[in-house]
Amino acid sequence: MDLSNVDPSTSNQAPAKSFDQLFISFQFIGLLGSILTLIAARFSSRQRQATWYNFMGSWVLFCVSYLLLFFTGHAYDGDPGLPLCILQSSLVHAVSPFVVACSLALVIQLFFDISSTLSGNCVGKSRYWRITLIVTPYAILLFLILESIAVSFATHDTEFSSIPYCSYKNKVPGRITSAFAIILALPMIFLVFLLYLRIRKYRQEYGPSVLRAGNSKSMFTRVSAFTLYGVICVAIACLFFLASFLSANGAYTGLDTTLSTFPVAAVLIFGSHKDLLVVWLFWRKKRDDPQFPGKTEPPTPVPAIGVRIDYVEQDNQQP
C-alpha cells in the first residue's frame, strides 16, 4: 500500500450529531467507571481472580480505543492524521472480540469455581489452565490488530470513516471482528445458562437452609444479568456482521450507540458489589462486617465475581 495515497478523512465531515455525543459520553462514563472499579477492587478486603481484573481491564482498553480521537482533539474535525487513524482502526476492530474473550474466560473461571464449591471436587485449579485463561484473550487481541494493519497496507487507497472514531471502510476487518465475537460469545452464553441451571437445581434440592439466602439471591441476579449480556453481545455482533454488507454508513449509527452502553452495563453489574462500594466510604470508621457478625475474617469468596457459597452447619445431616 502506498501511504501517500491513503486519505484518513472522508466525506463524513458533518457537524457533531447527538448520537456521536451520546456515543462519546457513554464511552467516557464506562472508562471512568471501569477505572474506579479496578481501584476499588485493589483496596477491597475480598480477593478476586485475575480473570476478573482482565475482564474489567478489557473495558478500559475498549473505551480508550474508541476515545482516541476525542483525547487527541480530533473527534469531529475529520482529519486525525494517518498514523492515528490506522492505530485506532486496528484497535477498534480488535477490542470487541478481546472483551468477549475476557468475558468467556471469566465465565469459565466462574463455572469451575462454583462447580468445585457445589461438588466438593477440585475442578479447573491447574496453574497452566489459569494462565491460559489470562493469556488467550491477549493473543486474540494481537492477532486481530496485526490482521487489521495488514489489510490496511494490502489494500490500495485505503479509506477511513473518522467521525466519531476512525474505522476502515474496507468491510473485511469488520466481518472478521463480528465473526470472532459471535464464535466467542456463543459458548459463554451456554456456560452461563448451564451454571444458572446447576445453581437453581442445587437450591431446589437443598433449600435456603443450606445456601445462605442473601448470597444465593445475589448470585442468581448477577448470573442472570450476565446471561442477558451475552445474548445481547451475540445480537449486536450479528447485526454488525449484517451491516458490513450494506453500503450505507448510517446503518452503524444505532449499533455504535448501543455498543457504547456495554461498558456502563459492565460497571453497573460488576462494580456494584458492596465490598467495592464501601471502599469509597474510607472516612467512616470501619466496624465488623454485618455480613459476618462475630467473625474477624469472612469465608473465602468465589473470586471470579466476588460472590460466596456458605454452608450452614446442620447436626447429623449431609449437605
Average predicted confidence (pLDDT) for the chain: 75
Per-residue cell: 209: 437452609
| Calpha distance 230→146 (Å, rounded) | 26
pLDDT range class, residue 105, cuts 50, 70, 90 = very high
41-50, 51-60, 173-182, 198-207, range with the lowest pLDDT: 198-207
For the chain, list the domains and their CATH numbers.
3-280 (1.20.1070.10)
- pLDDT higher than threshold 60 for residue 151: yes
Phi then psi for residue 128, to 5 deg, are -70, -35
Q: What is the pLDDT of residue 63?
A: 95
pTM value is 0.79
Per-residue cell: 183: 464464535
79-116 as b/e, with b when 16 or more CB fall inside 10 Å? ebebebbbbbbbbbbbbbbbbbbbbbbbbbbbbbbbbe
Q: Percentage of the chain with pLDDT > 70? A: 67
In the chain the first and final C-alpha atoms are separated, in Å, by 66
Q: What is the pLDDT of residue 237?
A: 78
- Tell me what the mean pLDDT of segment 197-203 comes to: 77
Find, among 201, 132, 223, 163, the residue nearest to 13 by Cα: 163
- pLDDT higher than threshold 90 for residue 244: no
Q: What is the pLDDT of residue 40?
A: 92
